[in-house]
A and B are shown apart, each in its own frame.
Chain A
Amino acid sequence: MNSKNDSPLYTRRQAIGLGAAALGISALARALPAFADDAISRAKIVGAGEMVSGGKYKKTGSYRIGFSNGFSGNTWRTEMLYSIKKEAGQHKDIADLIIVDGQGDITKQVNDIENLVSQNVDAILCIPNSGSAVAPALRDATKQGIITIPFNLPVDGEAWTAYNGTDPEKKGAGLGEWLRGAVGNSAKIVALGGLPGNSYTAAAWKGAQKAMEGSNIQVLAFKDAYWEEDRAKVVMADLIAAYPQIDGVWCDGSQVAAGAMKALLAAKRPLVPVTGDDYNGLLKLYAQEGDKNPKFKIGLLSEPTWESVVALRTALKLLNGEDVSKRQIIEPRLITSDNYKSYVRPDLADGVFVDTDLTNDELKTLFKS
């Protein structure tokens, strides 16, 4: 479903996209070029679950919107914050956008949400630090008639108004399927995830394992690499010493993928197929090393930084009395060795996530490059 039209009836193009998505990898997404300025309108967002009636939320006048961000400090969150502020600035009916930062602390985030309720906001957007911990606070807010929209990471239960984000298990499966195709059915791979115990990596890896079922692919090791390049490089260096043959690397994030490839380079080993997301550092590395390493291939599924914009637009639709889907699942863009040139930003910092609605100039301002 397109974000500009929440009708439950799919257009022909969307139906094609759904079919493609069912195959694990969206061929339609591959066909779409990356234009930052209209990334959202070109993206495919699939509605799921019941429709939420906007009638009871309809309100005239100006709106107060609260956003509880679980933490900040990585470039994905920075771009996401820039996007939501930019979007809010374009809506004259938004009187206030109150952004609070949970600083990675579960308790603080719950308190932040309660504070937003006491500030009489009309809607609360939220990226949870913990899907279970914020659920009661969002439920209480919802009971008081406030629109609650978690996005990016899911919240337990259904006691919130609407949700949008990618599906990590499906993404993991897509990456697993791509890697299986790239390395063959009897390869030896290693897998590198994010922070220990995080639900996103767990779901993505679960999907990947399902995608590799029935093959003879041997998973030599699964290790957490904290979504940090330096940590991934150290872990991968150890794995290189332990395993003389590594044919591919499954990662759920490209900082980790870049670190793993840099470890292979340091060990003077040929680069191998690797998965990840839309982190510019890996795309730049591929542009630099791809030709020298014939086996080096990339299969990446993006995590759009404009999910915050979709969440804000959903809140505004409800406040305008429009109906929306309970869940809006965003189809990530597939970036491979064939189309990476449409996405790589050689003139921008490694930390840029390229599936963004920000323009080149905005990114240059943000990253001071």
Chain B
Amino acid sequence: MTSVPRSSGWLFRPLAWVNRIGAIWFAVTLLYGVSGLISPGMFQVGQVLNILQVAAFLGVIATGQTLTLLAGGIDLSVAGVVTMANIVSTSVMAGRAETMVQGIVICLLLAAVVGLLNGIMIVEVRVTPLVTTLGMNSILFGAALIYTGGAPHGSISPGFAVFGQGSYLGIPISTVCWLLIAAFIIWVTRKTTFGRQLYAVGANPVAARLMGIPVARIKIFTYVLSSVLAATGGLLLTSYIGSPSLGIGDQFLLTSIAAAVVAGTALSGGVGSVLGTIGGTLFITELNSFTNIVRVSTGTQFVLQGAVIALSVLMYRLGGLSRAST
């Protein structure tokens, strides 16, 4: 685990206090309040539900990304996996009801294979995670092009739309799916042996190996989980839009990392939490939504988003948050 001396003084004490109550939740609330004051539309119940619905896609993908970051890796193939899930599911479902389960299962199995290959390349062949997963992302995009011939076809099964477009008691079902998945992964990371081993592997793989932790197996399984969760997010997004698109996953390549990092997950591994990533996802989605609503150009939108993300990471460092784990 990276050790940063805890800072003291008038500037750092409040930041450390904010950290103790959960800095990302403080940021989510603050951003929501400020954006609502500037654009009252943000306070509408409909808009809150809209943000929750849209956040679900990123949320599920970022949950998997957080696991790889905790294990000291990174998964840049999530974009390709999302596109693969979109292309394969719409192609298999082809608008028919009876092929829905088949479409879902095939996507999840393919994603598991992708994750397994990533893990084996990283752990057994010892290619760095960045190179392996970036290469896999390129392979997946190329495979999607070859599979579709550049002309994606098909559509979702009629009953599948409910996952991305439906709601239960007013709450979007995609949000319910996301929170259930995240809750399960939080439980896994906090309450199971696997979870404790995951943090240990990310913090210091050599020490973890000396302690008898199966480092290779943990890492490989983490990449499998990341891919399967990316495919799940891709399926929810596909349900939301209903049709195939070859560029659909690109937006998640970096936002999935940003959602984890703004919530305090360290790129160096062993530090962070899936609970924080829920806050990080809400923060990123809120920020996108807010910049969509206010009258700023796309250029200003990018500057704002980049500045806020950089600022939040800076705050973690100043507040000594890099020492925090769960």
Report which A residues bind B (CB closer than 8 A): 72-75, 77-79, 81, 196-197, 221, 223-224, 226, 228-231, 233-235, 237-239, 241-243, 255, 259, 262, 266-267, 281, 349-352, 366-369
Contacts and interface: CB of A to CB of B under 8 A. Distances in A.
A230 B54 CA distance: 10
A298 to B, nearest CB: 18
A297 to B, nearest CB: 22
B151 A78 contact: yes
Contacts of B293: 221, 238-239, 241-242
B247 interface: yes
- State which size class the interface on B falls in: 35 or more
Interface string B19-56: 00000000000000000000101101011001000100
Given A228-B245, A241-B44, A259-B241, A196 B298 contact: yes
Given A223-B298, A228-B247, A367 B153 contact: yes
6 contacts: A73-B150, A235-B292, A241-B42, A281-B243, A366-B151, A368-B151
B53 to A, nearest CB: 8
B145 interface: yes
B244 interface: yes
B154 interface: yes
Contacts of B288: 234, 238
Contacts, number: 102
B248 interface: yes
A253 to B, nearest CB: 13
Contacts of A75: 150-152
Contact of B292 (A77, A81, A238, A368): A238
Given A230-B240, A238-B292, A366-B151, 15 more contacts: A75-B150, A79-B151, A196-B302, A221-B295, A230-B248, A234-B292, A237-B50, A238-B50, A241-B44, A242-B42, A262-B242, A266-B165, A350-B155, A368-B149, A368-B153
A327 B141 CA distance: 36
A81 B240 contact: no
Contacts of B150: 72-75, 77-78, 81
B305 interface: no
The 9 closest A-B pairs by CB, nearest first: A78-B150, A241-B47, A242-B41, A238-B292, A242-B293, A349-B153, A196-B298, A230-B241, A367-B153
B47 to A, nearest CB: 4
Nearest to A233: B241
A229 B156 CA distance: 15
A30 B31 CA distance: 49
B145 to A, nearest CB: 6
B237 interface: yes
Interface of B: 39, 41-42, 44, 46-47, 50, 54, 141, 145, 149-155, 165, 237, 240-248, 251, 288-289, 292-293, 295, 298-299, 302
Contacts of A224: 298
Nearest to B246: A73
Nearest to A224: B298
Contacts of A230: 237, 240-241, 245, 248
A349 B149 contact: no
Contacts of A243: 41
Contact of B241 (A196, A229, A238, A367): A229
Contact of A239 (B243, B251, B292, B302): B292
Contact of B46 (A197, A233, A235, A267): A267
Contacts of A233: 240-241
A349 B152 contact: yes
Contacts of A259: 241
Contact of A351 (B153, B237, B302): B153
A266 B46 CA distance: 11
B145 A72 contact: yes
Q: For B149, B165, B251, which residue has the most chain A Cβ atoms within 10 angstroms?
A: B149
A78 B47 CA distance: 37
A196 B296 CA distance: 13
A229 B152 CA distance: 14
Contacts of A235: 292
A351 B244 contact: yes
A108 B241 CA distance: 33
A234 B247 contact: no
Nearest to A234: B54
Contact of A349 (B54, B151, B251): B151
Contacts of B289: 238, 241
A201 to B, nearest CB: 10
Contacts of B149: 78, 366, 368
